[in-house]
Structure 1
Amino acid sequence: MKKKALQTVAASMVIASLALTACGSNGNGSDSNQASNGKGTSQQKEASVKELRIMAGVVGGKTPEETDLFEQEIERLTGIKADITKPASDYNTKLTTAISSGEKYDLLQISKETMNTFIDQGILTPITDFVEGSDVLSDSSVIPSGEWAQVKTEDGQIYGVFSKFQGGTMPIVRQDWLDKLGLDTPETLDEFYQVLKAFKEQDPDGNGKEDTYGLSTAGLYEIQGFMSAAGVKQRYVMEDGKRVIPYATEAAIPVYEWFAKLYKEGIMDPNFATNDTGKMRNLFLTDRVGMVTYWDAWVGLFNNARLQEDPDTAFQAKGIPGPAGPDGEILLRRGDPDVWVIPVNAEHPETAMEFIEWWHTEPGIILGSLGIEGEDYVKKDGQYELTELGKEHGMDHGVPFWYNDNVKPPFGKLPGVEEAQQIVMEHASLELTLPNWTDAEKIINNYAIRAMTGEMPAAEAVAKMQGELKRADLID
């Protein structure tokens, strides 16, 4: 059964079987009888038992055995007896199957896209009053007030609370190569061209061979930083009520032509069209390419990998903004946030809200990042020390980065990450992903790659994109 069909089944079964529960809700996740007299049986049970059933994709242990320890740590720290379901693979499929079978969870960790689908299907409880009334979640030092726009519905309702800070993508450059060649950080497409050309021709790795490239990507992943020069945004935008894919408009043509020039002159990695992200990253780490386009977190991971290999390395990765568009704005991509949501059939919604608040405090953040005390780290004289297992786990049990400014990373952030995240916060925004985007993406990729490799003139490629997208009813 296809995903969309499964979701439809999920909605009908959950709503039908739980109509009484939904009708008894007062809109903030608590039973209406509890809200009126404070003596409901369900509330008494919840207050005494403090149970929580969670389904999560990335939150928890690295193994089933460690997830058991993770549950025990939650209970030790909060008094909440947690039962975490964390599938090893195919999370979305197993989530949909669980929902369609009527299983009851108090908390789900899902993407914003899935959240929107579940909202439309009536599966989730609105928690606007809870968020706005929470001393923790309404504190802008815990979650910046501007971030809530990412998860609010058109009518201003909130159904999900961030489970972590989600970053964005940008050009990542070898800053040490810029310094070695006496080059400034590029700010326009022409300046980017000159820098990338120098990386190709001026032996930045110093091995006396012409064996470096200026730029590599993994296909169109992630060229948004350069499309910024044309004021073009990835995926869909709505213009006067019509669906538009900016990558398939005339505005994008000059950027495709710019890529074709890089490719023709050997400045672009010739295998960019077939690269996966692993191959792209490896070229960057092994001194074969001077710039890639990837996530802010990888600025730190690149630097850390080389430092671990050689503490005296000159290697320095740095995230930089893309070129500004005609209106002076820089358009980068923000990743869809992961959120905690409460289903309408949750048996312990108040405990779920208590957990969500706690998750954004220091003990919750330490658990979601460093992990389990005694397993992933020990604390001596107020200082954290990772165990060997903790080092392997990379300080990520679902929260590699967080919002709360009051909680400082115990070991600091990896080199370059903080600056890259500031670029994300200033310039990156979410894309609009409409139904059937996957079908549209195949058409975009096909003709964009042809344009970028010079196989087809960019104007012709865009015209063919538009034609196919219209015939398939994917744009208006």
Structure 2
Amino acid sequence: MLNKKAGMIAAVALSTSLLVTACSTQTGTESQASSPSETSKPAKQETLRILSGVVGGKTPEENALFEKEVERLTGIKVTIEKPAADYDKKLYAAIAAGEKYDLIYMGKGNMDVLVEQGALTQLNDKIKASKVLSDPKVIPTKEWDMITYNGGKIYSVFNKSEGGTLPTVRQDWMDKLKLQQPKTLDDFYQTLKAFKEKDPDGNGKDDTYGLSTAGLYDIQGFMSAAGVKYKYVMDANGKRSIPYATDAAVPIYEWFAKLYKEGILDPNFATNDSGKMRELFLTNRVGMVTYWDAWVGLFNNMKKTDDPKFVAKAIPGAVGPDGKVMLRRGDPSVWGIPVNAEHVDTAMKFLEFWQSDKGNILSTLGIEGTDYTVKDGKYSLTPDGISHGMDHGAPFPNNTNFKNPIGTLPGALEGRQIIFDNNATIENSTKDWPNAEKIVTNYAFQAMMGKMPAADAVKKMRDELKAVNLID
């Protein structure tokens, strides 16, 4: 599945990428009925310059093929620029420098910043005028609420349908150890303890952990036990609070400290990135991780050849005080049109294509002949297509009419349903969150690693946030 939202980034000097344009130079030929002076007019080539975080090919070489596939399917010659790293910085710097893109990919946090800056084109009228984008069977009406601003203003169109993050468990280990699906925080402790102590991989060594995370990303499924939500929560008067900095979160930090002390929690959780966490899960080192629902299917797909007994399964988080689970739904990933875009109508044409069956096939399966083949109406993935996991930017399109002709990866749909069934809501980051996150993370780690009593850590966290006016 994007991964963390950046805050306001100061404008920096960047060299401007040249817009690649191409115009057809096809010369009209004379017909027998035409006079020698009559020739057909050259057809104008539609072009787009796109800045993308995830949409496109998996490698620079495949990205070039992806561009050609878009042109084959739409007639639009596109240039898709995919920065290798620091996408958010590139995005903000490009906008600040006045670089001209026709479409930009972004998460809601990025969009919040750019809307505040006045950098995006309002799209309400264009969406309303589009038979495709205004069709509730293509994009459900309630989904638009997530990206609608004050006054009903809309500045983007969805890239894909987002799921969320949740605990993902080695179900084959659960079955081997005869464990039941955990529901309470104590249930989770007992399950994770068994993964640590009962040799679930059967190698006779004490080399497994119960749980690994990539920092605080994403422990929401456990914070659910206290009914607290990550990032900002605003009350009816706009007063800001961060529930992870409240006393309600203290018992959860204490729970993590117990896991850490007993060697159940991966000792490198605080410095892991998501790649290191995934690697532990895929190499039989840990029984549970907290990650995106779509990755349940990807995990199973990656291991089906070399370890057919491997089974990843998404499970709900811990039940809260109200008897419900509180999970996180991912921020919408969207396409926006900058106010200085040169080809707005063509950009809208691309967005309509992206929500069509052909666009959905491209965004999932990928490029015909490279990622998949079609014979007698039957779709088959190539070896490259299998390795790409049916994800070229939108593994789950918004278009409710779309049915993936290959099917979905094992466990992925079940994971998404858990997200939709369990009070999963998007997080409210605001432009202040990057500064607040540093403070929250610092003291949360100290509490989770037992370096400071959890109650003291939360008090210091809260006091520091108030001191710099990051909560009210």
Once the two structures are overlaid, the 10-residue window that deviates more, 97-106 or 296-305, is 97-106
Q: Taking structure 1 as reference, are residues 66 and 200 closer, same or farther at Cα in structure 2, changes over 3 Å only?
A: closer
Are 1:225 and 2:228 counterparts? Answer: no
Structure 1 Cα separation of the partners of residues 428 and 135 of structure 2: 28
- Superposition pairs of residues 157-306 of structure 1, within 5 angstroms: 157-239=153-235, 240-306=237-303
2:11 counterpart letter in structure 1: L
Q: Taking structure 1 as reference, are residues 165 and 210 closer, same or farther at Cα in structure 2, changes over 3 Å only?
A: same
CA positional deviation for 1:187:
1.1
CA positional deviation for 1:3:
5.4
CA positional deviation for 1:392:
4.3
Structure 2 Cα separation of the partners of residues 174 and 390 of structure 1: 25
Match of 1:346 in 2: 341
Match for residue 399 of structure 1 among 394, 400, 403: 394
**CA offsets 1:312-342 (integer angstroms, 9 cap, x no match):** x2x2111111122222332212222221112
Question: TM-score, structure 2 length as denominator?
Answer: 0.85
Are 1:422 and 2:417 counterparts? Answer: yes
Query: Secondary structure of the equivalent of 1:54?
Result: strand
Q: Taking structure 1 as reference, are residues 268 and 101 closer, same or farther at Cα in structure 2, changes over 3 Å only?
A: closer
Conservation of the 8 A alpha-carbon contact between 1:161 and 1:340: yes
Structure 1 Cα separation of the partners of residues 260 and 91 of structure 2: 43
Query: Secondary structure of the equivalent of 1:308?
Result: coil
Are 1:61 and 2:57 counterparts? Answer: yes
Question: TM-score, structure 1 length as denominator?
Answer: 0.85
Query: Secondary structure of the equivalent of 1:169?
Result: strand
Gaps of 5+ in 1: 11-44
CA positional deviation for 1:64:
4.1
Structure 2 Cα separation of the partners of residues 172 and 463 of structure 1: 31
1:282 counterpart letter in structure 2: E
Structure 2 Cα separation of the partners of residues 475 and 326 of structure 1: 25
Structure 1 Cα separation of the partners of residues 452 and 418 of structure 2: 34
Are 1:411 and 2:406 counterparts? Answer: yes
Match of 2:120 in 1: 124
CA positional deviation for 1:138:
3.2
- Superposition pairs of residues 145-164 of structure 1, within 5 angstroms: 145-164=141-160
Query: Secondary structure of the equivalent of 1:102?
Result: coil
* Percent of aligned positions that are identical: 63
Gaps of 5+ in 2: 1-6, 15-40
CA positional deviation for 1:154:
2.6
Structure 1 Cα separation of the partners of residues 244 and 445 of structure 2: 12
Q: Taking structure 1 as reference, are residues 257 and 3 closer, same or farther at Cα in structure 2, changes over 3 Å only?
A: closer
Q: Taking structure 1 as reference, are residues 329 and 133 closer, same or farther at Cα in structure 2, changes over 3 Å only?
A: farther
Match for residue 9 of structure 2 among 4, 16, 29: 4
Query: Secondary structure of the equivalent of 1:84?
Result: strand
1:170 counterpart letter in structure 2: L
Once the two structures are overlaid, the 10-residue window that deviates more, 199-208 or 168-177, is 199-208
Structure 2 Cα separation of the partners of residues 188 and 177 of structure 1: 19
Once the two structures are overlaid, the 10-residue window that deviates more, 203-212 or 429-438, is 203-212
Structure 2 Cα separation of the partners of residues 205 and 61 of structure 1: 36
**CA offsets 1:226-277 (integer angstroms, 9 cap, x no match):** 0011110001111342211111100101111111222233322333233333
Query: Secondary structure of the equivalent of 2:224?
Result: helix
Match for residue 444 of structure 1 among 440, 462, 467: 440
Are 1:365 and 2:370 counterparts? Answer: no
Conservation of the 8 A alpha-carbon contact between 1:3 and 1:93: no
Structure 2 Cα separation of the partners of residues 210 and 449 of structure 1: 25
Conservation of the 8 A alpha-carbon contact between 2:113 and 2:431: no
**CA offsets 1:151-184 (integer angstroms, 9 cap, x no match):** 1113221111111223311111121222223222
Conservation of the 8 A alpha-carbon contact between 1:172 and 1:294: yes
Structure 2 Cα separation of the partners of residues 422 and 167 of structure 1: 9
1:51 counterpart letter in structure 2: T
